[in-house]
Each structure stands twice: as structure tokens, then as C-alpha cells.
Structure 1
Amino acid sequence: MKLKAILLFSILSSSLIQAQTENTSLTYHVELGATAGGGTYAPLWFTGNRYGLGSTNPNSGYLLAGVTYGKQFQHGWRIEAGLDMAGGIHQAQDVFIHQIYGDFSWKMLTLSIGSKERPGFPLTKNTALSSGMLVEGPNTQPVPQIRGEIKEYLNVPGTKEWLAFKGHIAYGSFAENGWQKKYVQPGQYFVKDVLYHSKSLMLRLGNKDKFPLEFEVGILMATQFGGDKYLKLEDGSTEKVLDMPENLKAYWKAFFPQTGESNTPEGEQVNIEGNMLGSWNFALNYYLSEWKLRAYLEHYFEDHSQMFWQYGRWKDGQIGVEITFPKNRWISSAVWEGLNTKGQSGSLLYDGFWGQFPEYQISANDNYYNHYIYGAWQYLGMGMGNPLLPGPAYNKDCSISFRSNRVRAHHLGINGQPSSEWGYRMLISFARHWGTYNTPLDQQRKQFSSLYEATYTPKWAKGWSASAALGLDRGNYLGNATGGMLTIKRTGIIL
């Protein structure tokens, strides 16, 4: 992390020396957040989809300060760099670098290096109102990575703007800095130095300027690979039990999923090396005057059976509808989403791995977000995907696992701007939990989670804004919680 900071500050400094003021921007931002309340955990939406700045503790706080630099060059070249430092009370880390990145772009193509807030890709959802992505999104602190991407749709030449595409490829590292070792209890396993890979491709069919209907389709795949697995002993020391490959071949197998070799566990040799997961993404957009109606589907998978829909196209995933209303004072957008992860290719349990009996179709109990080597698809205790499936930070036994990944949920989000200075947001979610196939809950458990937030952006104090929120959760999975959150932000221009 120190090398990354030195590199980015060098880039920033050299660019400032050469900068021409009219093509350069340098801004700062400061954010102070505090929560207080009662309950075992903070209300879910005080924590979920806040890029890891929220805490599961009902009483917590943080201070974040950062700068962002941008410069536009000739011929479509541009550069952007940012640095955010944060510290907090009852956070996963006391003091940490939240963002540190450099983006180097030419026209629509960007090379992004470092840790940066990324709202979710490639399917676009309303990050303020949606419950979140299923594979990865804003529910965790940014994962450090090197990422090549086309962030916005690029029209395919010769199609008269009827066909466009976007996508990315990234490699990085889960830089948890020993968090798992401190979190787990003696007798439990944890991993260190795990590597990250993701890639996506999304196509858009349609030209809204000539016809009011657009169709989007694409795929996102992500992988945990490499790293070491340890056992925490009773005296607090650790014992390495597994060393996964981190050579060039391992990077290739993360990009193009293949079975592991003899230096990997048996499960990797008959399945795919590493923890691979992903989603198919579909969206239909309809434009009517100032109205926009968007329907979308994210179909989640963890192996070939769900990837190729051998157990039903619509069993597991998230469906959603977003309505963007004509400009008015009371409601800007509304989102409804339905979530189901209960199927998981069925409940078949057996002693063995898929692939040992090629004459039979044996593929079930996909155990979403959990993995026998890497523990869970998580970062610093928070699930990489949708927060309605709470991650390891909510485990009383401190295990690196998802205690319940068989979930059905409904979610509603509404926001509006009653005046130029006042805005509001409301999130309401209801989820039912069954645990996992291997370890089911003693009964079906239910959880209601809600957020009611008002934001004030005064004209008389340019650059300042304040948000006050009430969180109200009720249920027998995460328990009851009531709390308040206050967030104060200040942004300004240095150059």
C-alpha cells in the first residue's frame, strides 16, 4: 500500500506541475458519520452498500477526508487520481486507506490502478435504491486491483448506434491485512494473501433516439484464487494447512476456468481451481416521454449447472423493476426487487465431488458464497454481493462463512426531492432465511430492515450537506434494532 501511495502521489505531483488551470481540477471532500442505537447489530441499511464505511456495531463513527485530481489532455486523453484516508470507532479497521487510485483514460478506454469505489458492473442498478448486486458491488471496502475497462457503452461501428458494448477485466488482491486471523477463534480456519479476478461483457441492442425500447444482456464472472489457508491454534499461533498456486498458470486459470493440477486439493482437480462465481444479466428499458421503465434480471451461478440453467432459468437470482418519474417534487424514482437464492441446484448431499461419476448428472448443494478453501466470498467481514445475505461480520462464532445463504426477499426503494434543498430516501426490505443445506436453521427466520433518510443541502452553505436517518429493523435472524445516523459532508474546489 505504501508503494501505491508513493506512485500515485508522484503522478499527482508531476501532473500538477504541468497543469493548465482550465483543463485541471483538484477537489477535496470531508465526511463525518456517526450512528447510535440499540440492538445486537446496527440496522442493516446503516451498514449495507456503504463501501465498507458502515459498521455492524450499533454505536460507531468514522471520519473520512480525501482529494481528487483530474486533468484533460488533447486527443481524448485524461487522468484522474484520488486518495481517501479514514479512521473510525468500532470499525473493521481503526485507520485505513479507503481509496487510492489512478485512472488513465483514452476516449472510452480506461486503465484503473488501485482501490476505488465501484458501484457494480456490468448491469446498471440504482445504487441509492437497489438492494445491491449479487456478485460484487458497493457492500465492501474497495478491493485493490488493476482494471482495464470500457465503463460506458461504446457503439459498434457500422451498426448505426443500434449495437453497443462495455466490459472489463481485472486482477487484484484481498488486502485484509491480517483481519481474518484476528477475527476467527481458535480451531477455525482462515486465509491470507488471496488473489482476485473479475471480468464482464455487456451488449446493448437498440437506439432510444429512433425506437423507445432497449435490450441489454451480458455476463459477469469473478474468482478468488491463490493465497494460503491457516488453522488458528489454541495458543493464538497459526499453522499453514494449504498453499494454493500463484504462478502465471493460476492467473490464466482464473481468467479461463479450468481444473486444478496435482498441487491443489482433490476438489479443485475435479472441479474448477479457485472459487469461481458469476451472474447472467438482462435488462429491458422503455422510454416514454419523461418516463423510464426498466426491468432487469441478475441470474446468479457458482458452477456450470446454474451457469447454463440446467436447473431452471429463473430459480435463483434477482428480478427488479425501476420507474423513473417525470420531474416532480415528491417522487423521483422507485425500485422493487425480488431475490431468491433458495434453490442452489437442489439439496442433494453426498460424499464426493462433482465429476467423479461422469455417467451421472450430479451437481447440487451449490452453497452460495461459501467455499471449502476460501471460507466465503467476503472482504473484511462484509459480503461482496447483496447485503440481504449478511456476511461473516454477523457471525457470533466468528467463522468466515455465510450462516444463511438460502434466502427469499422483497425490497422497495423510493426517493424524491421535495425542494432544491431537501431530499429523502426510503428503503424497506423483508427477508426469509433457511440457513444452508449443510447447516439449516432451527426454523425459518424472518427479518425486516428499513431506512428513512432526509438530506439537507443548503444554498447558503455551498459545498455542505447533512443527512439524518432512522433505521428500524425487526426480526428473529439479525434481531431487533433501532438507531439514528447523522452524516455531514463538505466538498470544495482547491484548483
Structure 2
Amino acid sequence: MRIRLLVGFYFFVCLLPVFGQDSTHTETVDRKSSIHIFAELGLSGSTAKRTPFWLRTNQYGIFPNTSPFLMARAGISADYARKHRRIAWGYGLEWVGNIASKSAFLLPEGYGKVKFRGLELLAGRRRETIGLADSTHVGSGSYSWSGNALPMPKIQLSLADYTPIGFTKGLIAFRGLFAHGWFGNKGPVTHSYLHQKALYGRLGKPNWPIRLYGGFNHQVQWAGRSEVITGDDVIKNGRFPSGFKNYINAITGLSLAAKGNAIDTTEYSKNDRGNRVGNHLGTVDVGFEILNKSFTLLFYRQSIYEDGSLYYLTNIADGLNGVRFRNTKPATQRWRIQTAVAEFLFTKSQGGSTFSYLNKERGSDNYFNHGQYIDGWSYVGRTIGTPFIPPANDTNPTLPRSYTDQLVIFSNNNRVRVLHLGVEGRCNEVYVFQLKCSWSENYGTYNKPFPERIRQFSSLLMVGFPVSFLQGMQATVSFADDQGRLYSNSSGFYLSLRKNWGDKSTH
């Protein structure tokens, strides 16, 4: 039945150029409306069963982990048509069908949004990254919310763009979000929730040559049930704390330990009573941007927190450091670099190898792993944050893993050192290219360190170009390679044909 549905989906996508052809000639699509439609067919193969790292990573969870596979995608979206309307609306919907060793239909986007002046209300799934970093996917991805996993369904209220405070005349501007989301109902923990908030400020007027940025994001997985995690020290009656009062606990991030003997031991496990409700993580970000007539440079730093280590600066060495170059010159050159990114990710410290409640000895943060939510900081099997802290099931099976209740703890490699370089550009204003190269040194976890340093190199080269004799379709050819001992050595490709209506971008 699944294969029949996929074949039908492929047939539908192949006919989209016919069904949508008239719409490309109407002014409602090209000029007055902001409706965008696309359809894509893709094919991938590799020298190993595992899809190479940069073919499947930071793709919002739609590319299978295994190779070969066939993919069909189609989507429609409408952005805010008129920016100066007091109230505007938009939507997005995308379908993905994969034929692979585990075939699947996915819905990476399905949302509606309403905007009143600068305030946006959104419901559903939408592609997004969170944090002060490169947002073009030339970089390695923001630490806590990178675009690596399938988008999560949520309700979100946000200032989507930097909004100036009126009396400062554009000197100070803010953007932020407050969201409630739902994790999936598969895995060792089900029916858990997402609490998410972020606030970022910008200092500098639009005509200033330098702007300063700063802010934070806070991610919490809380509530939920489990039939496989046992023991009153970890969970009470198969449920983690939920309800409105625990929602407030998740929002504030206050530790229950401060309540002492006043806490209800029938609701809260020993683990809860000594910690915060839920799994908390995020980053504190700072940066500055240099603006020139020919280019912009963005320098950024994301400092990691999962408990009190960052407050006491015991893990201050950990974080994502980067610089992004953007070319703002008019397109006059034959070869043109649009964007270039250099990043260094370091997560080896984690406050040290010892966990203690003493303020100056808070360590063993065990990034993206958790004693209760043992499927870690993940959604539908993919890391939500930086892909360089991978699920244990994605790494070489000979490397050590940690277990609890005979279940694998999410990641067996969260102590890493990564250098990442990325470049994106154009040739003759027709060909689009992208190059990514990542060198990593991997050390496992403090609980289960690798016996020695494990090196890994992963790369990607992508070229896109129009195919005029196929009704203006865009072709993409990607080659990726993994060499090292963290993943299986593999070389692979992805070939695709894409048709856009109402938008010239290749996405």
C-alpha cells in the first residue's frame, strides 16, 4: 500500500508542471500575491548503506539516513503579500515521500500565520533555526535549534523581525518568541511538551557601520509518560510532572531543590526533587556586524548552558564561534561568492568530568543527554540541535555506548571539537554552487569516553543550474563524502529536478 501511495505521489508531482503552468502567467502570482509553489523529484545513492553526513544533515529531517532512496516533494506557501497592512496572513504546506529501506511520508511544513503590525501568531510546523548564527545553511547550524530535525508542531507568538523601540529612533530593536510545542508519541518517552522562548536585541541604527547583538534562547522538554523507564528515583507512576504549575516551573527554570521538605513526594521523583522540572538547555549569544557598501561581516558566539555551569563559568570554554561574510555588491562578476562561513564548535569541557552541587564544581553536563528523557534532545530520531552531537545509532557500532533500563542513551558523542568551512556562490548568474567541509575530533562522553580520539572529515559539493528545455526546471547535483572512524566511510550523490512557480529561488 505504501509503495502504491508513493507511486501516486510521484505521478502527481510529475503532472504539477502541467497543472500549474497557467498560474505562471497570471499577475496574481507574480506581482500582487506572494504564493510560491514547487515540485521536486530526487534520487540518491552511495557507496555504503549510510547516507553521507552532509546529504542528510540540517535538511529538516526529510532525507533518509540510509541509501539508496527516491524522493518526491511538493509544496505551496503564501507569505505576507503587503508589508504595510496592519493585519496580514500566510500559510505553508509541504509533502515529502521517500522510497528507501524505511519508506515514509513526511509533512515538514504545515502552518498558518497571522501578523498584526510586528507581532506574529503561528500554528503548525514551520522550518526555522533559532540563535545568533549563520541562517543560510552554509554554516554548521545553530547549537540548540539547527534545522536538523523535522519541524515540531507548535503554537508560537513572536516578533519575527527586529522591531525598534519608538523613542530610540531605531537605535534599539528586539525580536523574540514564546512557543508551546508537542513532541512525538513514539519512543521511550511519549506525550511530552516543548516550552520555547527567545529574546534578542540589536544596538545600532540602520545607517550605522557597526551593529551589536545579544540575547538568549531557552528550550525545555517537560511532562510526558513512559512505560519502559522504571524506578521511583526517576519517574512516578509512569508519568513526569505535568499540569499548569509544572508548566510555570518549566518556564521559570527554577530548581525544586529550593522547596526542601515542602515538595510532594507522590508527584515528584528523587530526580525531580533535586533538579528542575524537565530537560532544560539553550545558549546565550553575542555578536557584532560590520556593514559596508560591498559586504557585511557577522561575528557571533553561542555559549552553552544545560544547568548552572555557565552561570559559574565552569564550562565557558564550550560554545559555537563563527564569522559570516555576505557579498552585497551588484552582480557584475563572472564568479561571485555570495556567502562564506567559518565556524569552530567546542563542547569538550562541560564543566569538567565531575557532577557536584557545589557551585564551582558543576560539571559533567552531558550535553543533549538526560537521565529521564533518555531519547535526548531529539525529535523523530534526529538531533534537534547541532548535528555534531549525533544519535548513538548513527555512529560506528564499534564505539562505546551508555545504557539505562537496557535502552541506549541518546548520544554517545557529545564532547567534540569541530572546524567547519562553507561557501556559497554563483557563476555567470546561472550556476549556483555550495561547498561545505567539516573536520571533527570526537571524544565520546564523560560516562563512556572513546578509547582514543576519533577523527572525522565530511564534505559536500552542490551545483544547481536551470534546464531550459524542461519548462525552466532547476537541476541540482550534490556529491558528499565521509572519511574517518565516527561514521562509515561513504561517498554519495543526490540528483534532483525542481520546478518553482511564483519564486525564482532554488530553496
TM-score calculated relative to the size of structure 2: 0.83
Give the distance between the partners of 1:304 and 1:331, measured in 2 at CA. Answer: 41
Give the distance between the partners of 1:78 and 1:264, measured in 2 at CA. Answer: 45
User: 1:383, 1:392 within 8 Å by CA — same for their partners in 2?
Assistant: no
2:39 maps to which of 14, 18, 30? 30
Give the distance between the partners of 2:55 and 2:98, measured in 1 at CA. Answer: 15
Offset of 1:33 from its aligned partner? 2.5
Is the alpha carbon distance of 1:92 and 1:286 closer, same or farther for their aligned partners in structure 2, counting shifts above 3 Å?
Answer: farther
**1:371 counterpart SS class:** coil
Residue identity opposite 1:255 in structure 2: I
Residue matched to 2:339:
333
Give the distance between the partners of 2:439 and 2:241, measured in 1 at CA. Answer: 41
Offset of 1:98 from its aligned partner? 2.2
Residue identity opposite 1:205 in structure 2: L
Residue matched to 2:194:
196
Please give the residue correspondences for 1:14-413 in structure 2 after superposition, counting only pairs within 5 Å: 24-70=33-79, 72=81, 75-90=85-100, 94-118=104-128, 120-175=129-184, 177-178=185-186, 180=187, 190-209=188-207, 211-231=208-228, 242-260=238-256, 261=263, 262=265, 263-306=267-310, 308-311=311-314, 313=316, 315-325=317-327, 326=329, 327=331, 328=333, 329-348=335-354, 354-355=356-357, 361-375=360-374, 376-394=376-394, 396=397, 399-413=408-422
User: 1:276, 1:302 within 8 Å by CA — same for their partners in 2?
Assistant: yes
**2:336 counterpart SS class:** coil
1:414 maps to which of 423, 428, 433? 423
Moved more, 144-153 or 83-92: 83-92
Give the distance between the partners of 2:350 and 2:415, measured in 1 at CA. Answer: 8
Give the distance between the partners of 2:191 and 2:431, measured in 1 at CA. Answer: 45
Give the distance between the partners of 1:232 and 1:89, measured in 2 at CA. Answer: 33
Offset of 1:75 from its aligned partner? 4.0
What do the CA deviations read for 1:209-247 (whole angstroms, capped 9, x no partner)?
1x30111000011000011123289xxxxx996301221
Residue identity opposite 2:486 in structure 1: Y
Residue 481 (structure 2) pairs with residue 475 (structure 1): no
Give the distance between the partners of 2:471 and 2:312, measured in 1 at CA. Answer: 52
User: 1:54, 1:91 within 8 Å by CA — same for their partners in 2?
Assistant: no
Give the distance between the partners of 1:117 and 1:393, measured in 2 at CA. Answer: 25
Give the distance between the partners of 2:103 and 2:147, measured in 1 at CA. Answer: 18
Residue identity opposite 2:436 in structure 1: L
Residue identity opposite 2:319 in structure 1: G
**2:238 counterpart SS class:** strand
Residue identity opposite 1:128 in structure 2: H
Is the alpha carbon distance of 1:405 and 1:370 closer, same or farther for their aligned partners in structure 2, counting shifts above 3 Å?
Answer: same
What do the CA deviations read for 1:2-28 (whole angstroms, capped 9, x no partner)?
xxxxxxxxxxxxxxxxxx958544442
Give the distance between the partners of 2:103 and 2:192, measured in 1 at CA. Answer: 19
What do the CA deviations read for 1:318-357 (whole angstroms, capped 9, x no partner)?
10011223444232221110010000000115xxxx54xx
Give the distance between the partners of 2:229 and 2:350, measured in 1 at CA. Answer: 31
Overall identity of the aligned pairs, in %: 26
Residue identity opposite 1:333 in structure 2: T
User: 2:309, 2:362 within 8 Å by CA — same for their partners in 1?
Assistant: yes
What do the CA deviations read for 1:179-198 (whole angstroms, capped 9, x no partner)?
x2xxxxxxxxx111121111
User: 2:236, 2:268 within 8 Å by CA — same for their partners in 1?
Assistant: no
**2:55 counterpart SS class:** helix
Runs of 4+ in structure 1 deviating by more than 6 angstroms, as ranges, are: none
Offset of 1:443 from its aligned partner? 1.3
Offset of 1:464 from its aligned partner? 2.1
Aligned length: 448
Give the distance between the partners of 1:100 and 1:91, measured in 2 at CA. Answer: 26
Give the distance between the partners of 1:280 and 1:434, measured in 2 at CA. Answer: 24
Moved more, 50-59 or 144-153: 50-59
Residue matched to 1:185:
none
Give the distance between the partners of 1:365 and 1:68, measured in 2 at CA. Answer: 44
**2:309 counterpart SS class:** helix
Give the distance between the partners of 1:152 and 1:96, measured in 2 at CA. Answer: 29
Is the alpha carbon distance of 1:38 and 1:48 closer, same or farther for their aligned partners in structure 2, counting shifts above 3 Å?
Answer: same
Residue matched to 2:13:
none
Give the distance between the partners of 1:288 and 1:477, measured in 2 at CA. Answer: 41
User: 2:131, 2:145 within 8 Å by CA — same for their partners in 1?
Assistant: no
Is the alpha carbon distance of 1:246 and 1:57 closer, same or farther for their aligned partners in structure 2, counting shifts above 3 Å?
Answer: same
Offset of 1:400 from its aligned partner? 4.8
User: 1:155, 1:162 within 8 Å by CA — same for their partners in 2?
Assistant: yes
Is the alpha carbon distance of 1:400 and 1:346 closer, same or farther for their aligned partners in structure 2, counting shifts above 3 Å?
Answer: closer
Is the alpha carbon distance of 1:96 and 1:463 closer, same or farther for their aligned partners in structure 2, counting shifts above 3 Å?
Answer: same
Offset of 1:132 from its aligned partner? 0.4
Structure 2's unaligned 5+ residue stretches are 1-26, 257-262, 402-406
Offset of 1:477 from its aligned partner? 1.0
Residue identity opposite 1:258 in structure 2: L
Is the alpha carbon distance of 1:91 and 1:54 closer, same or farther for their aligned partners in structure 2, counting shifts above 3 Å?
Answer: farther
**2:341 counterpart SS class:** strand
Give the distance between the partners of 1:253 and 1:318, measured in 2 at CA. Answer: 28
Offset of 1:440 from its aligned partner? 0.7
Give the distance between the partners of 1:443 and 1:219, measured in 2 at CA. Answer: 35
Moved more, 406-415 or 64-73: 64-73
**2:124 counterpart SS class:** strand
Is the alpha carbon distance of 1:85 and 1:91 closer, same or farther for their aligned partners in structure 2, counting shifts above 3 Å?
Answer: farther
User: 2:219, 2:282 within 8 Å by CA — same for their partners in 1?
Assistant: yes
Is the alpha carbon distance of 1:462 and 1:208 closer, same or farther for their aligned partners in structure 2, counting shifts above 3 Å?
Answer: farther
Give the distance between the partners of 2:282 and 2:101, measured in 1 at CA. Answer: 29
User: 1:229, 1:241 within 8 Å by CA — same for their partners in 2?
Assistant: no
Residue matched to 1:16:
none
